[in-house]
């Protein structure tokens, strides 16, 4: 057993865990709000940043459905503007984007190392110089909303954008003496099914937008993920933009869900990863002071690439279920470091892999009659995403029952 694993196990023993959810007392303010969300005057807001597990919305979408069925539907939440990449998924809402926009992102084909366009929480920005260029959001399945918030870059020479939701329309000039970031909220005055942002005069750069139902309580769960990203790539966002958006969206809980791509990184270094994780958590804490945070450990996964089965952490032991597939050599180290740093930062931790059943379950999930993971042994099917959401909410229920017993509504999850 590695020293990192031994430390992680010792910390686990010292932690107060509810299923796979440890140190849930760190998110007690969020749990207290969630317990009374249905009757609250304002929504409870969860904002999750992460990699493709977050971007695909299989897990967050199922978790959103569970939460809103129990506590009330308060809207779709924060999204990247428009459709920032091919295959972009927006469960419960349809996003469209006209021609005339250019995309910047923190990772992948949208990333420009020499680019100067600033980005925020969504990890993408959309820029247009073309009058009439537009992006829209349309409610799916009657999931209407009554409030639109749009965040954009401001500064000398910036253009004007027209915002609309239902019958409400406003022109928003973005010109300012100094570069910055602002968010504008527009209320429809009633239920609306369509919202849009249209360039009146360029340049206009949008960094995020959100739809919600402002009347009454309920839950909003925003999924802001980037396919292939590691937490360190979030450093490419701009402090001022992120701070302005956090002030506008006011999350009650921030979920950090990275780790898979770190574990698959060739030449993985435990020391380098731990240093960057500390720096990234420090930055997020600085930008979101006082906001409860929940760190997800990397889920179980597997590879059949020999070069990823060995590394600084040693050789990944074979799985009983498969001679070919096994976790990367770095996965256990990534998980141990995540758990240790969550503890050090006073952040709640959800052991995703433990909730799944532990090491080497990925092959069984992928080979099941009804697969819960795809054939790559990394990504989840829609059924698998629903199962992960169920397991997560069950652990949250355990924590709420213990910590907030008098106020927790009856569980409908188990």
0.85 exceeded by the pTM?
yes
Question: What confidence score (pLDDT) does residue 115 get?
Answer: 74
Asked if the model's pLDDT at residue 2 lies above 90, the reply is no
Asked if the model's pLDDT at residue 405 lies above 90, the reply is no
Mean pLDDT of 363-384: 97
Question: What confidence score (pLDDT) does residue 60 get?
Answer: 98
Mean pLDDT of 266-278: 98
Label residue 8 by pLDDT band (50, 70, 90): very low
DSSP code per residue over 86-139 = TT---TTEEEEE-SS-EEEESSGGG--TT------TTSEEEEE-STT-EEEEEE
Residues of the chain with CATH 2.60.120.1360: 81-215
99 phi, psi to nearest 5 deg: -70, 165
Three-class secondary structure of residue 403 per DSSP: helix
Question: What confidence score (pLDDT) does residue 215 get?
Answer: 85
List the one residue out of 365, 219, 205, 345 whose CA is nearest residue 288: 345
Asked if the model's pLDDT at residue 1 lies above 50, the reply is no
Asked if the model's pLDDT at residue 391 lies above 70, the reply is yes
The DSSP output letter for 360 is T
Mean pLDDT of 5-25: 71
Asked if the model's pLDDT at residue 6 lies above 90, the reply is no
Q: What is the CATH number assigned to the segment(s) 81-215?
A: 2.60.120.1360
Spatial contact of 262 and 53, defined as CB atoms under 8 Å apart: no
Residue with the larger pLDDT of the pair 201 and 322: 201
Question: Which position has the token pair 């925003």?
Answer: 222
Half-sphere exposure of 229 (CA within 13 A, CB side): 32
Question: Which position has the token pair 């915002």?
Answer: 163
Q: Among residues of the chain, what percentage have pLDDT more than 90?
A: 89
Cα(327)–Cα(315) distance, integer angstroms: 10
Asked if the model's pLDDT at residue 396 lies above 50, the reply is yes
Asked if the model's pLDDT at residue 106 lies above 90, the reply is yes
Residues of the chain with CATH 3.40.50.1110: 1-74+216-405
Cα(124)–Cα(80) distance, integer angstroms: 6
Angle, helices 331-345 vs 3-14, to 10°: value is: 40
Mean pLDDT of 201-222: 96
User: Which residues share a beta bridge with 77?
Assistant: 211
Label residue 116 by pLDDT band (50, 70, 90): confident
Spatial contact of 316 and 362, defined as CB atoms under 8 Å apart: no
Question: What confidence score (pLDDT) does residue 12 get?
Answer: 44
Helix (H) / strand (E) containing 267:
none
The token pair that represents 200 in the structure block: 């009146």
Label residue 13 by pLDDT band (50, 70, 90): very low
Q: Which bin fits 317, alpha (ψ -120 to 50), beta or left (φ > 0)?
A: beta
Question: What confidence score (pLDDT) does residue 250 get?
Answer: 98
The DSSP output letter for 302 is -
Angstrom CA distances, 404 to 28, 33, 149, 400, stand at: 9, 11, 33, 5
Residues in Cβ contact with 218 at an 8 Å cutoff, skipping those fewer than 6 apart: 37, 38, 43, 44, 68, 71, 72, 73, 74, 75
pLDDT tens column, 65-83 = 999 999 999 999 999 999 9
Question: What confidence score (pLDDT) does residue 413 get?
Answer: 46
Cα(199)–Cα(161) distance, integer angstroms: 5
Three-class secondary structure of residue 18 per DSSP: strand
Instruction: Assign 3-state DSSP to the chain and report helix, strand, coil percentages, each to 5.
Output: 35, 30, 40
Half-sphere exposure of 111 (CA within 13 A, CB side): 14
Helix (H) / strand (E) containing 297:
none
398 phi, psi to nearest 5 deg: -60, -45
Q: Which of 92-96, 112-116, 122-126, 240-244 has the lowest mean pLDDT?
A: 112-116
Question: What confidence score (pLDDT) does residue 216 get?
Answer: 84
Label residue 315 by pLDDT band (50, 70, 90): very high
Mean pLDDT of 22-43: 96
Mean pLDDT of 272-288: 98
Note the CATH architecture for domain 1-74+216-405: 3-Layer(aba) Sandwich (3.40)
List the one residue out of 325, 317, 334 whose CA is nearest residue 274: 334
Residues in Cβ contact with 11 at an 8 Å cutoff, skipping those fewer than 6 apart: 339, 340, 343
């Amino acid at each position: 057993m590695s020293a990192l694993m031994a430390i992680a196990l010792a910390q686990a023993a010292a932690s107060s865990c509810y299923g796979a959810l440890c140190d849930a007392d760190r998110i007690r303010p969020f749990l207290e709000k969630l317990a009374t969300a249905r009757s609250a005057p304002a929504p409870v807001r969860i904002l999750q940043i992460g990699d493709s597990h977050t971007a695909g919305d299989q897990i967050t979408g199922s978790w959103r459905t569970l939460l809103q069925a129990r506590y009330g539907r308060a809207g779709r939440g924060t999204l990247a503007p428009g459709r920032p990449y091919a295959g972009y998924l927006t469960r419960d809402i349809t996003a469209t984007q006209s021609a005339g926009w250019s995309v910047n992102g923190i990772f992948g084909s949208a990333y420009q190392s020499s680019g100067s366009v600033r980005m925020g929480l969504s990890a993408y920005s959309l820029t247009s110089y073309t009058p009439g260029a537009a992006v829209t959001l349309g409610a799916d399945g009657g999931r209407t909303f009554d409030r639109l918030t749009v965040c954009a870059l401001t500064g000398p020479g910036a253009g004007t954008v027209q915002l609309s939701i239902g019958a409400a329309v406003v022109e928003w000039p973005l010109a300012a003496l100094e570069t910055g970031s602002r968010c504008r909220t527009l209320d429809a005055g009633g239920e609306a099914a369509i919202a849009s942002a249209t360039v009146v005069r360029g340049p206009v750069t949008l960094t995020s937008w959100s739809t919600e139902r402002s009347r009454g309580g309920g839950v909003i769960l925003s999924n802001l993920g980037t396919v292939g990203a590691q937490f360190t790539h979030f450093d490419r966002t701009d402090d001022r933009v992120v701070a302005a958006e956090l002030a506008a969206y006011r999350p009650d809980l921030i979920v950090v869900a990275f780790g898979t791509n770190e574990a698959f990184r060739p030449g993985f270094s435990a020391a380098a990863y731990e240093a960057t994780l500390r720096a990234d958590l420090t930055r997020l804490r600085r930008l979101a002071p006082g906001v409860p945070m929940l760190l997800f450990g990397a889920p179980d996964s597997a590879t059949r690439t020999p070069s990823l089965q060995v590394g600084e952490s040693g050789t990944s032991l074979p799985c009983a279920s498969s001679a070919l597939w096994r976790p990367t050599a770095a996965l256990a180290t990534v998980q141990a470091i995540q758990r240790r740093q969550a503890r050090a930062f006073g952040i709640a931790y959800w052991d995703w892999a433990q909730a799944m059943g532990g090491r080497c379950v990925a092959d069984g999930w992928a080979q099941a009659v009804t697969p819960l993971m795809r054939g790559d042994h990394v990504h989840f099917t829609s059924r698998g995403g629903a199962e992960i959401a169920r397991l997560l909410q069950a652990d949250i229920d355990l924590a709420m029952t213990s910590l907030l017993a008098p106020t927790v509504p009856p569980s409908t999850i188990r």
